[in-house]
Structure 1
Amino acid sequence: MTLQATFCATLVDEWACCGVTDAVVAPGSRSTPLAVALAGEARIRVHVMIDERSAGFFALGLGLASGVPPVVLTTSGTAAVELHPAVVEAHQSRVPLVVCTADRPPDLHHVGAPQTVEQARLFEGAVRWAFEPGIPDEEAAHTWRSMAARAAAVAAGGPAGPGPVHLNLAFREPLVADPGSLPAGRPGGEPWHRVVAASRDAPGEVVTELAGYNRRGVIVAGAGAGDPKAVQEMGRALAWPVLAEPRSGARVPAPMTVSAADALLRSRGFTTAQRPDVVLRLGAPWASRKVAEWLAGLEVPQYLVDPHGAWLDPARSATTVVTADPTSLCRAVLAAGPRAAPPEWLRGWR
């Protein structure tokens, strides 16, 4: 068992949860861990293409025909470079594609090791998102599913529309091993992140969900949270406290405002008694480590709202990433006639 085998199996399992059905593999040594994981996943069809350039265009065709991002995998070095024409075509034609290039570890770069080139920004300017997680690390295991889900979601259609994403994955020898236990996924095999983009001002399904909860919720407002009055009015209608960071502009004298959130959340008794059922996060993350730790430890639905589709989620705890204007979202929830939480919930925060 090796950590990188577990890492690869986790990525593949999460991609299957996200609806990925096909992978195209151009065989090579360094890509073995991910190729083996793909071959072992019954929910994903694996197509083997010897030539990397052909593999790229075959994957492009799969994405074009289905609208679902396929995975295309090559080994390191010039093999990865051969994907560039297909990546550019996917970018120009808005075709979903998850491009995975295996790489050698950092200590084999710039020392003359074979099949080693600068791959991290290989497709710069032609991908919707690129990420290089480094050698699999157990301390980062909680981020693996988020990375896979984000790659699939951005490829399927972020703010810039569908297109290619690039994951550059470094592996060490030994390259063949059995995976261990995978980090747990979402209940029911749901994707780690659901992504919802506003068609106009606010996504209707999210508005309906927030307005109909009738449960204990919390609004966490950071920089860029939107119009303070709209945030406060929505909090009042939902009977949800507003945890307002100074940069949010929402830390104003109001019945819903909780300005001492950092101090309150240091109390174990308080956090046990006042555990929310849902969290609405507006704007940038708080600078407070205590608030960040509290959010990371909540296993409840968390909506992250940003007008530009930014993934402002260091702990990878957001279950739904919403591209929408926060002010418009607040006003849409108000207009929907939201159901308020039980009155004792808000009293507990005062």
Structure 2
Amino acid sequence: MKKKINLNYYFSQVFVKQLKRLGVKDVCISPGSRNTPLTMAFANERGIKKHIIIDERSSAFFALGIAKAKGIPAAILTTSGTATAELYPAIIEAYNSRIPLIVITADRPPELIDTGANQTIHQANMYANHIRLFVDAGLPKINNLALKRIQQKATDLFLSASVKNRGPVHINFPFRKPLEPFSFNAELEKDVHDYYLKNDASGKSLKLKRGEIKPSLVKKIKNAERPLILAGLDNYDDDFAEQVINLSYKMNAPIIADIYSNLRFGNNCENIISQAGNFLRSKEIDKKFEPDLIIQFGNAPTVNSLLEFF
């Protein structure tokens, strides 16, 4: 038995349902015309909270705040054209602060690019200097290979944003009209239709291999007599913060937490120095305080006295 579908909408559904399986709980949507299939796919997906924000720049920063607070990727959806450029300030912020965002942009089909059509710009990898991963969704297709691949792409985006190298990722969806869910333009066997909406067929594992520490680094850590740990700006989860604190106890190493590091708060650890920028301004302390090993987590410090010390 065959089921009538809108090609763009079904393809978007398969992608959105995979994001939900992976753990995405929030999406910030700036509605438009070209992103209708994705907007409707999110709208009909229970379990993902929808935040409708007309202004794209505001929407992106709202998603940034959600991702920072929850520690898991938030999605941003916008239509095609110059609307996509409005997301860039928040993407840069997410890139520098290692905040997980999944940026989803709708696009015109390839034949409308560079034709003088309204609101057509080159969107493929447009945030290239400030994202961890770019994926081209490609024009929607409903064969088994294409449906598996869009699930795989969703998984790659989620893992890149949240685990492999935390930060923003981008996927671009080119759509041909018709865009509305009930504008049927294709047919699909019902069992195939239901299978990809209910199952993960990507074949991707969410388990990552633990990185190995080089023996030379282990030796340096063991031999250090005056070690120091620097915690710069980053979104440390509770598990990582606990591991850093345990390391400081084992090494008998103080932790200098930068003013923007969230290790400064909520940790009852006497090894954490949260106001190091003040006493390191003293030349006398600067001379006496000479670590033989510095282990840095996160970004470089933002306080001038810390930058000068290190």
TM-score relative to the length of structure 2: 0.61
4+ residue runs over 6 A deviation = 185-191
- Deviation track 1:41-61 (CA, whole Å, cap 9, x = no partner) reads 101000000100001100101
The 1-side partners of 2:200 and 2:141 are apart by 26
The separation in 2 between residues aligned to 1:107 and 1:189, in whole angstroms, is 31
Paired residue for 1:124? 128
- Where does the alignment leave 5 or more consecutive residues of structure 2 unmatched? 215-310
Select 2:155's aligned residue among 144, 149, 169.
149
1:5 paired residue among 9, 16, 35? 9
Distance 1:190 1:43, change over 3 A: farther
User: 3-state SS of the aligned residue for 1:184?
Assistant: helix
Q: Quick one: distance in 2 between partners of 1:201 and 1:17?
A: 32
Cα 1:111–1:39 change in 2 (3 A) is same
Whichever residue aligns with residue 156 of structure 2, its letter is R
The 5-angstrom pairing of residues 153-192 of structure 1 reads 153-158=159-164, 161-178=165-182, 181-184=193-196, 192=204
Structure 2 counterparts to residues 235-314 of structure 1, below 5 A: none
Q: CA contact under 8 A between 1:150 and 1:193: conserved in structure 2?
A: no
| RMSD, matched Cα | 2.3
- SS of the aligned residue for 1:12 comes to helix
Percent identity among equivalent residues? Answer: 38
Aligned mates of 2:88, 2:200 — CA distance in 1: 37
Q: Cα offset for 1:176?
A: 0.8
CA contact (8 A) 1:156 1:163 kept: yes
2:125 partner amino acid? R
Cα pair 2:151 2:201 within 8 Å, conserved: no
Give 1 or 2 for the bigger CA radius of gyration. Answer: 2
- Give yes or no for contact 1:23–1:71 (8 Å, CA) kept in 2: yes
Distance 1:30 1:143, change over 3 A: same
Residue 63 of structure 2 is matched in structure 1 by 59
Task: Report the structure, 1 or 2, having the larger helix content.
Answer: 2
Tell me the amino acid that sits aligned with residue 3 of structure 1: L
Per-residue deviation, 1:199: 4.1
> Could you tell me the TM-score, scaled by structure 1's length?
0.54
Number of positions where the alignment pairs a residue of Structure 1 with one of Structure 2 = 200
Q: What is the deviation of 1:5? A: 1.1
Q: Which residue matches 1:134?
A: 138
One-letter code of the match for 2:116? G
Aligned to 1:77: 81
117 and 67 in structure 1: CA distance in 2 versus 1, 3 angstrom threshold: same
C-alpha contact (below 8 Å) 1:10/1:183 kept by paired residues: no
Return the alpha-carbon distance in structure 2 between the equivalents of residues 47 and 94 of structure 1: 22
Q: Distance in 2 between matches of 1:108 and 1:33?
A: 18
Among candidates 39, 46, 50, match of residue 46 of structure 1: 50
Query: Cα deviations across residues 26-71 of structure 1 (Å, max 9, x unaligned)?
Result: 1111000000000101010000001000011001011100111011
